[in-house]
């Protein structure tokens, strides 16, 4: 047992854990951070896109030395069938601003940097140290943690659980349940290396500009799923994710699906000549607002993916992680400054700060979306992409058929596939869920 007592112990050194640790240490708290990986980021495989304004609130001048890949100037959204894609692209010179809004990052490098910032601020970080259980008293108050190291019990006023989506600690201690298969996606990703000049010419960008493509379509075989492609400085992150319950039901293999995806005629030319250096898989919380567990209790709070904070519709995960970590850190600091105990009653402040922030407001807005997309997955991810593709081709091919007849054909195809009532009901439900 370690005699020394800390103000706070943070379990995990990902986005949420680092944000919490940094926030607390920068306000003078004595923070111990425990990470099971060999170094922060070694277990993190996110895509990834990082949103500047959420990090600015923690480290305002991060652009000076953070390992950023490219700032995004163009977003593409594709609906794909087996041979085609119908796309919407948005590109703007406005994104080439002094302080860009979105960046691609490589988490293994970014997390190392973030962790260095935490340590510079005074956080004591132990790596290769797994927290095995929470130390609780008879009333369930969390007093500290036990680790897998000899003499590994250590105590603190509060424990911040930033253990990620499949963290075992919270469920094992009865603080929350494990995520259900229908509320988490399994994402697989590859990193493909290409020279910077090739990426720039292939994606029509220059310097540090970057492009993101997000796709839905037949590649997910009717499952609720999303494909993605991000340009980094000298590599491309490409991957896809589908709900775990869908994978279980369809018996599809994620890896085979990714192979098919990479060989799609719209994607293969973008990757041509690249060298795949890394294959990774990870779980992503997709359940939204309805799956958020109890967020605080006597002597503990939960942040980031572990708290199911992910906006699946806008694919915002790391910024919610950073924001929840920061707000937990701020709440803990305020309670500490007021010399109040870290009880459930006082830690409620964390939840109040969350409720007042964009984080909870956004998640609440889309609370019905995950359910809708899942129950109608074959329509949204299989039928509609095919129909849209057919419609586009029908419209563009000039073959002597009258335009009126073409329009009729297109609407007939939609109705045959989904019925008039089905189409209207999907549209109405989508509108309500988006509201």
Partner 1 sequence: MHIVVCIKQVPDSAQIRVHPVTNTIMRQGVPTIINPYDLFALEEALRLRDKHGGEVTVLTMGPPMAEDSLRKALTFGADRAVLLTDRFFAGSDTLATSYALAAAIEKIGEVYGKPEIVFTGKQTIDGDTAQVGPGIAKRQSLLQLTYVSKIAELDLDGGKITVERRSEGGVQVLETKLPVLITMLEGTNDMRRGSMADALRAARSDLVIWSAKDAGIEDILKCGLRGSPTVVKRVFAPAARAEKAEQIEIRPAAIDTADALIETIFGTLPALETELVELHQTL
What DSSP line would sit under 21-47, residue for residue?
A: HHHHHHTT--EEEE-SSSSTTTT----
Decide if residue 372 touches partner 1 (CB under 8 A).
Answer: no
Residue 119 is encoded by which pair of tokens?
């340590």
Rule CB under 8 A: choose which of 30, 57, 87, 126 binds partner 1.
126
Q: Which is nearer to partner 1, 125 or 307 (CB)?
A: 125
Q: Which is nearer to partner 1, 132 or 378 (CB)?
A: 132
Q: Which is nearer to partner 1, 109 or 357 (CB)?
A: 109
State the Cα–Cα distance between residues 149 and 98, nearest whole angstrom.
47
Decide if residue 112 touches partner 1 (CB under 8 A).
Answer: no
Count interface residues toward partner 1 (CB under 8 A): 15
Decide if residue 44 touches partner 1 (CB under 8 A).
Answer: no
Q: Which residues of 99-126 are buried (b: 16+ CB within 10 A; e: fewer)?
A: ebebbbbbbbebbbbbbebbeebebbbe
E-only strand ranges, 93-217: 102-104, 124-126, 131-136, 142-147, 153-161, 184-193, 209-217
Q: Which is nearer to partner 1, 130 or 410 (CB)?
A: 130
Q: Which is nearer to partner 1, 126 or 430 (CB)?
A: 126
Within 8 A by CB and 6+ apart from 236, the residues are 191, 192, 194, 199, 229, 230, 270, 271, 274
Decide if residue 274 touches partner 1 (CB under 8 A).
Answer: no
Specify the DSSP class assigned to residue 142: E
Rule CB under 8 A: choose which of 95, 116, 153, 357 binds partner 1.
153
Question: Taking the complex as a whole, how short is the minimal distance between the CB of residue 120 and partner 1, in angstroms?
Answer: 13
Which of 230, 223, 228 minimizes the C-alpha distance to 240?
228
Rule CB under 8 A: choose which of 125, 194, 335, 391 binds partner 1.
125
Question: Taking the complex as a whole, how short is the minimal distance between the CB of residue 42 and partner 1, in angstroms?
Answer: 9
Q: What is the footprint of partner 1 within residues 133-152 (CB under 8 A)? A: 147, 149-152
Q: Which is nearer to partner 1, 152 or 293 (CB)?
A: 152
Decide if residue 124 touches partner 1 (CB under 8 A).
Answer: yes
State the Cα–Cα distance between residues 331 and 300, nearest whole angstrom.
12
Binding to partner 1 by CB under 8 A, coded x per residue (else -) over 16-35, reads ----------------x---
Q: Which is nearer to partner 1, 130 or 224 (CB)?
A: 130
List Cα–Cα distances, 58 to 66, 156, 271, 307, 369, in angstroms: 13, 23, 36, 20, 30
Residue 336 is encoded by which pair of tokens?
């500490």
Q: Contact region for partner 1 (CB under 8 A) — 123-131, 171-179, 212-220, 239-247?
A: 123-131
Question: Taking the complex as a whole, how short is the minimal distance between the CB of residue 328 and partner 1, in angstroms?
Answer: 22
- Give the bridge partners for 231, in sequence order: 236
Query: How many residues does this entry show for the chain?
Result: 435
Decide if residue 129 touches partner 1 (CB under 8 A).
Answer: yes
Within 8 A by CB and 6+ apart from 251, the residues are none
Decide if residue 121 touches partner 1 (CB under 8 A).
Answer: no
State the Cα–Cα distance between residues 295 and 328, nearest whole angstrom.
10
Question: Taking the complex as a whole, how short is the minimal distance between the CB of residue 154 and partner 1, in angstroms?
Answer: 7
Decide if residue 2 touches partner 1 (CB under 8 A).
Answer: yes
Question: Taking the complex as a whole, how short is the minimal distance between the CB of residue 115 and partner 1, in angstroms?
Answer: 12
List Cα–Cα distances, 357 to 300, 327, 352, 362, 413, in angstroms: 20, 9, 9, 9, 44
Question: Taking the complex as a whole, how short is the minimal distance between the CB of residue 12 and partner 1, in angstroms?
Answer: 16
Decide if residue 154 touches partner 1 (CB under 8 A).
Answer: yes
Q: Contact region for partner 1 (CB under 8 A) — 59-67, 121-129, 355-363, 374-382?
A: 121-129
Three-class SS of residue 367?
Answer: coil
Question: Taking the complex as a whole, how short is the minimal distance between the CB of residue 127 and partner 1, in angstroms?
Answer: 8
Within 8 A by CB and 6+ apart from 387, the residues are 410, 413, 414, 417
Question: Taking the complex as a whole, how short is the minimal distance between the CB of residue 9 and partner 1, in angstroms?
Answer: 12
Q: Which is nearer to partner 1, 146 or 406 (CB)?
A: 146
Which of 393, 388, 375, 397 minimizes the C-alpha distance to 417?
388
Q: C-alpha angle with apex 343: 175 to 324, nearest 5 degrees?
A: 60
Residues engaged in binding partner 1 (CB under 8 A): 2, 4, 32, 124-126, 128-129, 147, 149-154
């Amino acid at each position: 047992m370690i005699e020394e007592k800390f103000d706070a112990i943070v379990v995990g050194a990902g986005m949420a854990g680092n944000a919490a640790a940094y926030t607390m240490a920068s306000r003078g708290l004595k923070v111990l951070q425990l990470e099971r990986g060999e170094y922060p980021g070694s277990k993190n495989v996110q895509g990834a896109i990082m949103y500047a304004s959420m990090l600015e609130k923690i480290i305002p001048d991060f652009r000076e030395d953070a390992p950023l890949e490219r700032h995004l100037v163009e977003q593409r959204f594709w609906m794909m069938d087996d041979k085609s894609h119908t796309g919407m692209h948005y590109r703007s010179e406005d994104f080439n601003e002094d302080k860009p809004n979105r960046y691609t990052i490589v988490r293994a490098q970014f997390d190392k940097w973030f962790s260095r910032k935490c340590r510079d601020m005074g956080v004591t970080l132990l790596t290769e140290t797994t927290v095995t259980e929470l130390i609780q008293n008879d009333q369930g108050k969390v007093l500290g943690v036990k680790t897998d190291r000899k003499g590994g019990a250590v105590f603190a006023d509060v424990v911040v659980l930033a253990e990620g989506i499949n963290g075992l600690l919270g469920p094992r201690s009865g603080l929350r349940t494990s995520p259900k298969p229908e509320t988490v996606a399994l994402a697989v990703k590859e990193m493909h290396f290409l020279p910077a000049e090739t990426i720039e010419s292939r994606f029509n960008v220059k310097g540090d500009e970057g492009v993101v493509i997000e796709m839905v379509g037949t590649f997910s075989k009717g499952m609720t799923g999303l494909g993605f492609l991000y340009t980094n400085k000298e590599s491309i992150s490409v991957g896809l994710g589908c709900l775990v319950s869908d994978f279980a039901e369809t018996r599809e293999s994620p890896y085979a699906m990714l192979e098919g995806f990479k060989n799609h005629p719209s994607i293969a030319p973008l990757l041509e000549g690249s060298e795949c250096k890394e294959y990774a898989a990870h779980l992503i919380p997709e359940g939204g607002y309805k799956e958020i567990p109890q967020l605080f209790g006597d002597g503990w709070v939960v942040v980031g993916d572990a708290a199911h904070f992910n906006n699946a519709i806008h694919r915002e995960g790391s910024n919610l992680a950073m924001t929840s970590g920061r707000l937990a850190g701020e709440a803990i600091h305020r309670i500490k400054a007021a010399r109040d105990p870290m009880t459930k009653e006082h830690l409620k402040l964390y939840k109040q700060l969350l409720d007042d922030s964009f984080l909870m407001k956004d998640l609440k807005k889309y609370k019905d979306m995950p359910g809708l997309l899942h129950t109608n997955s074959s329509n949204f991810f299989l039928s509609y992409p095919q129909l849209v593709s057919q419609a586009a081709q029908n419209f563009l091919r000039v073959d002597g058929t009258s335009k009126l007849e073409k329009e009729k054909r297109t609407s007939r195809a939609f109705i045959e596939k989904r019925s008039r009532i089905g189409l209207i009901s999907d549209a109405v439900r989508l509108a309500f869920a988006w509201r």
